[in-house]
Structure 1
């Protein structure tokens, strides 16, 4: 068995472990994780792995080192990482990317998860990657240059226009949804929305992650938006997707709890308090 065959075997085992960790059976997602070469997107090793004591470099540059459920630093001095694979598996399953879909990936980073989404969308689909950081956007564009159904743009994913989308996958913490995400979500489309507190990044050692952020799946049904909690999260803050007033409202919502009972997103902020988990100026996450 040559080295490429060995690494393909390592990736298949890695993909199976991720699915087992998430408790999800999804052959398409498993196949995508087994196919996409993580080291291609991270650059040459050794690689900085985030551990409880900080970043620790892998002992060598063997690509097999990156096929574990770990955060790997892409700009370690800023606490910016290639995300934990087991975090993304349930989000990708919830997003339900199908062959032919148009997926918009906000916060594409170095493009690893963008490539996985491209596998799920297939040749008939496409992925629009948007990355705020110019250096990362350039890296992602280079990394994805051989993936024919992906385009990468540098810009503010909170305001940059894009074609109507079947899936909008936000990979940075916001305090509120962007109007353009709700406007450009197709009927039946799914928005993966992480709401987070900025003052907890990077997360404190040993702290309860569920107090910092939550991820919702928002599905458009005509003029209505159905909402469901997916998971807890601590995530790098989204440039342009935060303001002090929204952060204060989000903090109050986390303090009172109840995010798992949310069932709707409304594009109005005048709902009765007893119906709201979180009410913004022109939107709300509510219990019915």
Structure 2
């Protein structure tokens, strides 16, 4: 019996991931079906990680499952879980012609997804702090004319205006420049990790009256390199506190008030609802 070809493998994988993530945008499934995951990974044997267990494999089919695949195990750098990213992509909903900033691009697999989703006419500015990963991402994304890879931190710098900012590394708090870079109706998604190693994914949306925030699933991400914000929060928010967050504010624009859930050097989180 002949082995299943890579195109068939990817289509089947994309369909399973779309069902797992319960996504509503068929374009996301199509992106997963088109982008070869192996092109963004080290050479085989690959280390696949599922439910904390790691195993080595040379089988292409094994990386087309909802698993992490190690990029550098010593540094804890992995190609992330596909169903989680499918859900995030669905949440931020990149559209043709939009501009995206990708923070923590790694070797570029999910950058490639973003690039496909904003075609035609859209562009992705991808930032990767680790020089070796940035160089690898540049090589891997050579065929994507609508992607620019930046070797450096996306913290503490003025960013291009963006419809979507997609952050793939855990942060104590979002950089103020991320919020300032959002265009009207822009969306930011990031892993907020006030506690070491875990916290909620937060979806932030630009509104005329402020930045609305929605708590999504609990996630664990490697910490973002080059982060300037330290643990300067007055008190660490509890899990119950995290669930109450409904907005994010820039401290140099509005001072924290009685609705503050967590206050940092540049930004603060609030239970106040932003209507529009």
> TM-score, structure 1 length as denominator?
0.87
Deviation at 1:29, TM superposition (A): 0.6
Q: Relative to 1, partners in 2 of residues 1:219 and 1:132: Cα closer, same or farther, differing over 3 Å? A: same
Match of 2:219 in 1: 233
Match of 1:21 in 2: 20
Report the Cα distance in structure 1 between the residues aligned to 2:97 and 2:250, rounded to whole angstroms. 29
1:3-82 alignment runs, 5 A limit: 6-51=5-50, 54-58=53-57, 60=58, 62-82=59-79
Residue by residue over 1:13-65, the C-alpha shift from the partner in whole angstroms, topping out at 9 and shown as x without a partner, is 1111111111223201111011100001103211011245653211x2x3222
- 1:123 and 2:120 correspond: yes
Do 2:212 and 2:247's aligned partners in 1 also have CA atoms closer than 8 Å?
A: yes
SS state at 2:23 partner: coil
Report the Cα distance in structure 2 between the residues aligned to 1:50 and 1:152, rounded to whole angstroms. 27
1:187-206 alignment runs, 5 A limit: 187-197=184-194, 199-200=196-197
Q: Once superposed, what is the RMSD of the aligned Cα atoms?
A: 2.1
Residue by residue over 1:55-103, the C-alpha shift from the partner in whole angstroms, topping out at 9 and shown as x without a partner, is 3211x2x322210000111011111100011111111111110000111
Match of 1:207 in 2: none
Match of 1:156 among 153, 178, 192: 153
Count how many residue pairs are aligned between Structure 1 and Structure 2.
270
Report the Cα distance in structure 2 between the residues aligned to 1:90 and 1:245, rounded to whole angstroms. 29
Report the Cα distance in structure 2 between the residues aligned to 1:17 and 1:178, rounded to whole angstroms. 34
Per residue, is there more helix in 1 or in 2? 1
Match of 1:287 in 2: 271
Do 1:123 and 1:149's aligned partners in 2 also have CA atoms closer than 8 Å?
A: no
Deviation at 1:193, TM superposition (A): 2.1
Report the Cα distance in structure 2 between the residues aligned to 1:24 and 1:121, rounded to whole angstroms. 17
Report the Cα distance in structure 2 between the residues aligned to 1:256 and 1:104, rounded to whole angstroms. 29
Report the Cα distance in structure 1 between the residues aligned to 2:50 and 2:239, rounded to whole angstroms. 31
Report the Cα distance in structure 2 between the residues aligned to 1:198 and 1:45, rounded to whole angstroms. 35
Deviation at 1:6, TM superposition (A): 2.1
Deviation at 1:271, TM superposition (A): 2.9
Report the Cα distance in structure 2 between the residues aligned to 1:192 and 1:26, rounded to whole angstroms. 17
Q: After the TM superposition, which parts of structure 1 deviate over 4 Å for at least 4 consecutive aligned residues?
A: 51-54
SS state at 2:231 partner: helix
Match of 1:261 among 244, 265, 268: 244
Match of 1:93 in 2: 90
Greater alpha carbon shift after TM alignment, 105-114 vs 21-30: 21-30
